Amino acid sequence: MAKHLVIYTLAHQPHRLKLPAQPIPPGAAADDIARCLFDQRMDQFYFGRAAGKCYHPAIAAFTEFLCAGGKLCFGISETLLDQITRWDPSLLEALTGFVHHPNCELITVEPEHSLIFYLDIRRFVEGLGRYRQRLEREFGVVAQVADTTEMFMSNDLYFALARAGMRGGFMDGRSWVLDWRSPTHLYHHQLPTAILARHTDLSDDVGYRFSNRSWHGWPLLASDWAEWIAKAEGDFVFVGWDFETFGEHQWQDSGIFDFIAALPGELKRCGVECLGASEVMDRFADHSFDLPLPAFPSTWAGDGGVGFFLGNPIQQALFQLMHHAYNKAILTDDPALVDLAVKLTQSDVLHLTQWFGRSGDEAQVSAYFTPREWWALGPDRIVWEAQQVFKNFIAACDPAAVAAVRQSTPLDLASDLDDREDGSDPRGVTRERGPQEAHHKTKAQ
Amino acid sequence: MALAPSDCIFAVLCFEGPDRYALAGGLGSRVSGLTEALARSGATTHLYFIGDPGAPSVEERIEGRLVLHRWSQWISRYYPNGVYDGENEKLYDFNETAPWHVADHLAQLAVKGRKHLVVLGEDWHSAEAICRTSDLLHARGLRSHATLIWNANNPMGFERINWGRLGYIANLTTVSRYMKHYMWGLGQNPTVIPNGIPEHLVAPIPAAQVQRVRSALRADGAGPVFVKVARWDPDKRWNMAVSAVSRLRGRGIAARLIAKGGIEPHQREVFGNAVAAGLSIADVPVGESPTPETLADALRSAAAADVINLQGYLPVDLLQVLYRAADAVLANSGMEPFGLVGLEAMAAGAVVFTGSTGEDYARPFQNAIVLETDDPGEIAQYWDQLQSSPALVEHMRQAALATAAEYTWSEVLSALFHRLDYLAAASPR
């Protein structure tokens, strides 16, 4: 029976795209491009709503939870941290106190909640490291464990976490990844870097089903849930939720804060001890199992596969545009434009267009989170304008890309390689020239 | 009892405004004069316009009662060629931000000061902003504290307006009966509030300045000298003006046209026709800060030309001198919502040939020559009549001055406030 519980929550607010797409003046500086791409006023509105309904009361509730002996792993995206810093100093103060609580373990995350790992794994690794340093500067805490965007996990992402120097990470405990295994054990793959597998069912009991009156488990009481935790087979149960579950997804009148308040006592009654992620890694390091990781990632969103983000043609088109936008920014050599392109790869862009052409629970969730203001455009125009944001950005990078071309020697490495008749690499590596290359060279001569 | 200016806070939303960057035509003159007059009458007035990106973003004038909000300056910095350069980019930003400022700042000020908020949008660029302002005021529970007016100065951009929405949330006004009838066709019935001119335009013009410019206009024995100031647009009937000059010259009369247009491509067609008609054309730059003296010098430099194309910015006071110095001003538009140039020229005491659409102020052969056709022969014919009747000319000049005095902003505002009382009572909520 599981006698330990690890709770993880992630707080995040996106940079919402400005729809309809705002035309960008030619030659605009990066700051001005940004104000055309992202709807800061809308962000501020939704942040304010989330702060009132969730962040303030939930931090207060979880602080009491921690003081009552509970433990919590807490991640926060840089997007949200910036918004808190800009718009709600009192929340920042409360957050700082919360993070400093000895029972709170700060988790580093992909700062922009982006899908940059699909486009540039090195930048993903750098982003994790940079944000970990920022968190250390802001809160004086060095995070040892990382969460990826939407808890994506795959073979390459695992190694990316290891290259980032993380001690461990999270993944969703979907059966198609775990196969016959249980999520209630510690895992690793080839390296000591640990993986905690989220218990999907016990997580979703709170995250998705808490307010669902047609669910047989409603109303969910802390006593019942604690018993379910205690009855789970294995070493520990790892549950994970959006922080916004508390007050925003599940409203206050659902009893969600009462649930949290009652939880420490009920867990104690059931003999369940709360641990932090690092504590679990310490305690079960000798009892960790190798887990073959999939090439296609799992995620805690939707049904656990990338279909939630790439399942319709609109999402796939946007995903292509993310690539083109990022590549174009790279070609400008302008770090500010590259930063903007990374922001454009935020998963929320795809999350908020998941509903297109779909129905059912997932589509309802996606539509629910799509800003109300966008619906005045109608569904077709929403997705068209979202694409237009990317197209505008790509065009807006033209002046910087032109300047970069004029200032740099064109693709130095490739030209060097082509110019060497013996086929030797200028770095000292000799390679065989293929027949097609030789033919091409002959024709060119 | 009519609303008094001091009872109101005005928010005027308009692309054009008093900065040179924002002065593209009659709208800029109108809104500059209107807002200044409102402020002088005692109404706190905020003008939101696409101002000079190099000027302060907020500027107070007239003891703080006129507040200029130079909007979208961050975009204008990328568009140095005036208010309509980067029009779509500016429009997006204007719609996105100006209504919020009105709703979040001015409306609150109005409520605190127990004032009535009057939001006036000018032309199609402000139509969406007016609608959004209404929505925002509703959301803040302040809609009943405000009267929203949208004014049409011309039919440009009408195809981009959501009339059902705009007509529902705002009182519509326009500047002439011609425009009122035009808008009937769109299912709207706007209230007519005429355009105005600044008081100083009806003040006497220094005779010495007029004489200096007049002698330059008539250098080399030219005469009559016609002045035409308008955008290069077929509606302005430039070809009619050029043809009239050509016809008079064909009869041995040394007629000359002083042309002041914009940057529109129709100029090429007009000048092509002028050359084909045998007229010579000279481009005459007026310089950075022209005065009557520099203008006279510039005109003399092109004394041999039949058509003098003035290039550069001419301030309104200098235009008044030019109007008065000319033998006649050709404001002969085929379609004119109001015809501000004609009225301004009348304020200078000029003999004005107007068209016959929106120029409600023009009375044929009393204060102006009102043209009914696009036949250049009509101009030539009436010029012959004027030549033979100096008394009629003098009578028309005096009558024109008197008419212009009836259209100063203080006179127009008096009518506006009488109308406003009704509009506020009947205001859509």
Q: Residue A26: list chain B partners with CB under 8 A.
A: 78
Q: Residue A35: list chain B partners with CB under 8 A.
A: 74
Cβ neighbours for A440, distance < 8 A, ≥ 6 positions apart: none
Q: Is the pLDDT of residue B126 over 60?
A: yes
Q: Residue B105: what residue type?
A: H
Q: Is-contact B49 B72, C-beta < 8 A?
A: no
What CATH number belongs to A4-305?
A: 3.20.110.20
Q: Tell me: the pLDDT tens digits for B69-106?
A: 999 999 999 999 999 999 999 999 999 999 999 999 99
Q: Is the pLDDT of residue B2 over 80?
A: no
Interface TM-score (ipTM) > 0.90? no
Residue in chain B closest to A20 (alpha carbons) equals B92
User: B415: closest CA among B37, B26, B144?
Assistant: B37
User: What is the CB-side half-sphere exposure of residue B299 using CA atoms within 13 A?
Assistant: 27
Distance CA A35, CA A87 (A): 17
Other Cβ atoms less than 10 A from the Cβ of A231: the count is 11
Selected for mutation to probe chain B from A24, A373, A385 (highest B CB count within 10 Å) is A24
Q: How far is A399 from chain B (nearest CA, A)?
A: 13
Paired strand residues for B49: B70
What would the mean pLDDT of A24-30 be, rounded to a whole number?
97
Q: Is the pLDDT of residue A366 over 90?
A: no
Ordered domains of chain B (ranges, CATH):
5-196+408-425 (3.40.50.2000), 200-405 (3.40.50.2000)
Angle made by CA atoms B83, B84, B86, in degrees to the nearest 5: 105
Residues of A with CB under 8 A from a CB of B: 20, 22-28, 32, 35, 41
Distance CA B190, CA A63 (A): 62
3-state secondary structure of A436: helix
Q: Tell me: the pLDDT tens digits for A243-279?
A: 999 999 999 999 999 999 999 999 999 999 999 999 9
**Tokens for A153?**
């996990």
**Tokens for B183?**
């808008």
As a residue count, chain B comes to: 429
Q: What is the dihedral of CA A84, A86, A87, A92, to 10 degrees?
A: 40
**Tokens for A248?**
């925003």
Residue in chain A closest to B97 (alpha carbons) equals A41
User: A19: closest CA among A35, A38, A47?
Assistant: A38
The separation between the first and the last C-alpha atoms of chain A, rounded to the nearest angstrom, is 74
Domain boundaries, chain A: 4-305, 308-407
Q: Is-contact A177 A374, C-beta < 8 A?
A: no
Confidence of residue B302 (pLDDT cuts 50, 70, 90): confident
Selected for mutation to probe chain B from A16, A32, A45 (highest B CB count within 10 Å) is A32
User: A219: closest CA among A207, A230, A210, A206?
Assistant: A210
CB contact under 8 A, A25 and B75: yes
Give the burial string for A22-54 (b: 16+ CB within 10 Å, else e): bbbbeebbbebbbbbbbbbebbeebbeebbebb
3-state secondary structure of B264: coil
Total-model pTM: 0.86
Q: Is the pLDDT of residue B361 over 70?
A: yes
User: What is the residue-averaged pLDDT of chain B?
Assistant: 95
Lowest mean pLDDT among A8-12, A31-35, A427-431, B390-394: A427-431
What would the mean pLDDT of B298-320 be, rounded to a whole number?
93
